[in-house]
Amino acid sequence: MTDATSPRRKRTARFVEIAEAAGVSPATVDRVLNERGSVSAAMRARVVAAARQLGVPRVLPDTRHGLVHIDVLTPNNDTPFFQRLSLALQRSMQMLDRRIVLHRQVLPEADDAVITRAILEPRYKRAALVVTTHDTEAVRGALNTVIERGESVVTMVTDVADVARVHYAGIDNSCAGRTAGYFVGRLAARPGKVLLLCSRKDYRAHVDRIEGCREKLSEFGHLIAEVEPVETYDNPDACHRAVMRALKHGDLVGIYNSGYGSAGIEAALQKAGAAGKVVWVGHEMLDHHRRYIEQGTMDIVIDQDPDGQVFSALQHVLNACGVVDAPVQPGPVEFRVFCSANVRRSAYLVEDVSGPAR
């Protein structure tokens, strides 16, 4: 095959072309790309940027120096979901470059003074923060303040309104609520009321779930959603009392619980002889939820994939800090729906994390 007919590969940019684009000498390009000799940080950055722009097909030197401090602020909540979220964070921290320092803080769920102080007053030069917190005016103000001073913010699990965060790493909670409402509406054969149990009304995730469920239930003419959802704070006793009260009216056909506390719901249904007669939709594929589904007491579980939320949060926050250049996946984390036909068999909590957290 002659030169005239052979396929030609795209020519790789030469040092002289990179030097011209960066405004330096070819010798400087050689020192930077082959990492020999001393070159100023600014000049290194110019050479690497020029090489990247010209499409040089090689691993380019890292121009970043120093530690990147990132805060991860989560609530003091011992439910299995947050335990699994914590384990996912520990696993992720072990895979990070040593330059990346994640500082985890567990904060009171409703103490705005403590929460805003953690947001506003880091003890180190912070590049970004990942935050799971309730949505209040004080919290919104604090987050907007750190964003204005150049820090990147990612909200995780539950979003915060009117904040210019980089990304929300969580499920579409309105969609999750509508999904719950759809299944209650389809599975409840007789007319009656649907009890809505809301974990906390100061967390946007739970408010969105309840509103989404109510919106979908309105499409089913034979069902009536309770006017005011019962706030349970994930307490099984509060769930038990709410279900027992609703059962006394004799027309309860469905239950949607946006949070934790299912042991109280199951106990109430069993006590009243209503297990399997009331459609029940809840959250997280917990081990005891698997048992409830298998015994026919619970119908549907919406699992919000805490591991996926941690991955999404770290992917976006590291991208915002310039640590990773790979494109990030936009949009919410996908949730999963489980029932008796596809119930997950693996344990919800697997505490296999070794090594100290940084």
CATH class of 173-303: alpha beta
Contact at 8 Å (CB) between 69 and 129?
A: no
Same fold, 68-170+307-332 and 173-303: yes
Long-range contacts of 123-128 (CB under 8 A, 24+ apart): 124/69, 125/69, 126/69, 126/70, 126/71, 126/151, 127/68, 127/69, 127/70, 127/151, 127/152, 127/321, 128/70, 128/71, 128/152, 128/153, 128/154, 128/166, 128/317, 128/320, 128/321
Contact at 8 Å (CB) between 192 and 224?
A: yes
Contact at 8 Å (CB) between 318 and 324?
A: yes
Residue 307 to residue 51: CA distance in whole angstroms: 36
Residue with tokens 């589904």: 293
Residue 193 to residue 225: CA distance in whole angstroms: 6
Please tell me the CATH code under which domain 68-170+307-332 is placed.
3.40.50.2300
| 345 vs 216, higher pLDDT | 216
Confidence at residue 313, expressed as pLDDT on a 0 to 100 scale: 96
Q: Mean pLDDT in the chain?
A: 90
* Strands ordered across the beta sheet of 126-131: 100-107, 68-75, 126-131, 152-156, 167-169
Q: 3-class SS at 179?
A: helix
**What is the full DSSP assignment across 26-62?**
HHHHHHHHTT-S---HHHHHHHHHHHHHTT--SPPPP
Q: What is the pLDDT of residues 146-188, one digit of tens each?
A: 999 999 999 999 999 999 999 999 999 999 999 999 999 999 9
Place 65 in a pLDDT band, splitting at 50, 70 and 90.
Answer: low
- Please state whether the predicted TM-score (pTM) of the whole model is above 0.85: no
Lowest mean pLDDT among 3-17, 106-120, 189-203, 283-297: 3-17
> Residue 297 carries which DSSP code?
S
Q: What is the pLDDT of residues 249-308, one digit of tens each?
A: 889 999 999 999 999 999 999 999 999 999 999 999 999 999 999 999 999 999 999 999
> Residue 250 carries which DSSP code?
S
Q: Where are the domains of the chain?
A: 15-53, 68-170+307-332, 173-303
> Residue 118 carries which DSSP code?
H
Residue 314 to residue 333: CA distance in whole angstroms: 13
Examine the pLDDT at 38 and tell me if it is beyond 80: no
Confidence at residue 349, expressed as pLDDT on a 0 to 100 scale: 87
Confidence at residue 85, expressed as pLDDT on a 0 to 100 scale: 96
Confidence at residue 9, expressed as pLDDT on a 0 to 100 scale: 42
| 74 vs 4, higher pLDDT | 74
